[in-house]
Structure 1
């Protein structure tokens, strides 16, 4: 029998065509579709509610979404409870500290540090996280725009989170009754509170140090959107306690790298879409949808770089979701993106300093300078 010549793909040892493409599993596709509808609905609700930062409502709609409806409900509830708690603390404290940079820095450090410690060690970490994020946003927004009433900042923060959370829960319930019957989502693992942890305390103190620098930085430079810088600092520092060694430098640096990579990739895509959109609402919504799909697909991948997908989506949303589609402008989005990058740029030198000092002291005291690794 005459031998057939080998196929070109075999000669070049190329993989079969289907293996080149990412696997579009049913459950994964449903999750990405849920996120798209949740974000778009959150944008609609945000505009109807007249919120100040529609992209924050959109990102709330994205981040609350989980595969199982009960997890989405729980996560949404914790986000709202944390936001309300942060608002109440801000209403009590912010009016008394905005007249003094020293007091403002102290408030940033204390509330942000306590909230991060709670997020690292307590059962309802997500709620603790938003206590800190909400307080920092309100305080830094008030310092940036002192002529605005504190109640305005408090109200818009609650409305933004409520719009995104309600949109997410609504989509999750509808999906649970329809698509999730065929592709059911898995429940999230539950976490328990732990007692006092010295590594978590030191880690929260590092974040508090960085947060304390934001009020004087804003006063000296006039840089806008420092609330986004505070968000970056707190979120990047939210790593598993098991990964913290003498300083937490390695896991946080890796998380910072992922955040930078995701933000730059998302911002690059968003910038191209902005140039091509010419203020077209349809084009901006298409770009938003595409960005959410890509980001969620990366986030759901079976690899150690899921955080890149989250940050990719964040950059797309803060850039492509304007506060008003009738007068869409790129400046607010890029200003928020600059605030995100600034927070990361401030944090790394501080962590490096803590790392060097921690290893030096650890060596003198015989504690060692090892740094544990994590795949988070």
Structure 2
């Protein structure tokens, strides 16, 4: 989902008045996220969103410690979502929109371009959501051929706007109150890195995996296609300095395992809360599930903001909690969305890892064949 996905949260810094309590700024950040998610859920239910959890996701992922940073991230998510939806609609509604070969080629191109832009571009978050939205709409159409992609696009924009509006409201309120005492760290101004052939190759590997997933889906009834595609794109999002050679394979594999671990841990908490909520009805059930979601958001953000290098586990913990405990209907809540997310991770892993292993092997062969003097020159690209 950097935009390095390893650092999707703001790590607050203590202000002068917070020196005696170094945890206070992190607690403020966690409280902002909880408030943003709960407000996003309320807004999404009020406007009749069909995927309330996506609004909650947005309310969590967009939140930053300064309103201008939150606004910038919100705008990039909105722009990326809109462009990805328009691009996918153009493909699906073209004369060749029913040809699976054409769809696979379009998915490979969209995935490659999106990942390259997300790794190297100044507006990385928009590039990421261009590709994610394209993939979600395309795989949703393959999984449900009779579904209307226009309805999906419109509702995804509505859910994104609900989440970003909640984020901005909470961010502004916090800036006028809590953040005066416990300010956050200002993120460095995003910078592009220029032309990077190694990043393009890395993006192409992700695009190839996405196309292979689509091809395999035409041969077998693969489960959780959308979740599998999201997994491939999200874990391929690594720092540009790590994309070349075996290091890229290690980085992506680590993110895959962190994603799996976070999903299992968050899903376990969500299953426990859901089991207790099943004993209740009406407002009591909704209140318990909202309390569980709030607890999951706070715990996940706390882990995400830690100085242990495993913040991605916290992100996935939170999203796994939200996908289960934020249903479109409280009475129809079910563990199935969490299971779908888990299966999607395994499907994405099964498709992506062979592509990465092959790429790493070819990279080693190239390194062994290219003369040392040419290798040193190429390393400066």
Normalised by the size of structure 1, how large is the TM-score? 0.88
* Structure 1 residues 161 and 355: CA distance shift in structure 2, 3 A: same
Residue 250 of structure 2 aligns with which residue? 250
Residue 189 of structure 1 aligns with which residue? 188
Q: Which stretch shifts more, 337-346 or 136-145?
A: 337-346
Residue 229 of structure 1 aligns with which residue? 228
Counterpart-to-counterpart distance in 1, 2:119 and 2:322: 27
Shift in Å, 1:221? 3.3
Counterpart-to-counterpart distance in 2, 1:212 and 1:128: 18
- Structure with greater Cα Rg: 1
* Deviation per residue, 1:197-229 (Å, 9 max, x gap): 111011001100110022233333334442222
RMSD: 1.9
Residue 24 of structure 2 aligns with which residue? 26
Counterpart-to-counterpart distance in 2, 1:336 and 1:303: 25
Q: Which stretch shifts more, 330-339 or 163-172?
A: 330-339
- How many residues in Structure 1 have an aligned counterpart in Structure 2? 347
Shift in Å, 1:293? 0.8
SS of the residue corresponding to residue 93 of structure 2 reads helix
* Deviation per residue, 1:60-91 (Å, 9 max, x gap): 11000011111111101111111111111122
Pairs within 5 Å for 1:101-250 = 101-247=100-246, 248-250=248-250
Residue 320 of structure 1 aligns with which residue? 325
* Deviation per residue, 1:4-42 (Å, 9 max, x gap): xxxxxxxxxxxxxxxxxxx87111111000100111111
Residue 50 of structure 2 aligns with which residue? 52
SS of the residue corresponding to residue 308 of structure 1 reads helix
The answer to whether structure 1 residue 276 and structure 2 residue 276 are counterparts is yes
Shift in Å, 1:256? 1.5
Counterpart-to-counterpart distance in 2, 1:98 and 1:316: 35
Counterpart-to-counterpart distance in 1, 2:67 and 2:333: 34
* Deviation per residue, 1:342-375 (Å, 9 max, x gap): 223321222112112221222122468xxx9xxx
Residue 265 of structure 1 aligns with which residue? 265
Shift in Å, 1:98? 4.0
Counterpart-to-counterpart distance in 2, 1:100 and 1:24: 57
Shift in Å, 1:246? 1.9
Pairs within 5 Å for 1:293-304 = 293-304=298-309
Gaps of 5+ in 2: 1-20
Contact 1:42–1:61 (CA under 8 A) maintained in structure 2: yes
* Structure 1: 4+ residue segments shifted above 4 A: none
Counterpart-to-counterpart distance in 1, 2:149 and 2:306: 41
SS of the residue corresponding to residue 74 of structure 2 reads helix
* Deviation per residue, 1:75-118 (Å, 9 max, x gap): 01111111111111122112235412111111111111111111
Normalised by the size of structure 2, how large is the TM-score? 0.86
Counterpart-to-counterpart distance in 1, 2:345 and 2:93: 25
* Structure 1 residues 295 and 99: CA distance shift in structure 2, 3 A: same
The answer to whether structure 1 residue 361 and structure 2 residue 361 are counterparts is no
Counterpart-to-counterpart distance in 2, 1:60 and 1:181: 25
From 62, 75, 91, the equivalent of 1:93 is: 91
Counterpart-to-counterpart distance in 2, 1:71 and 1:310: 19
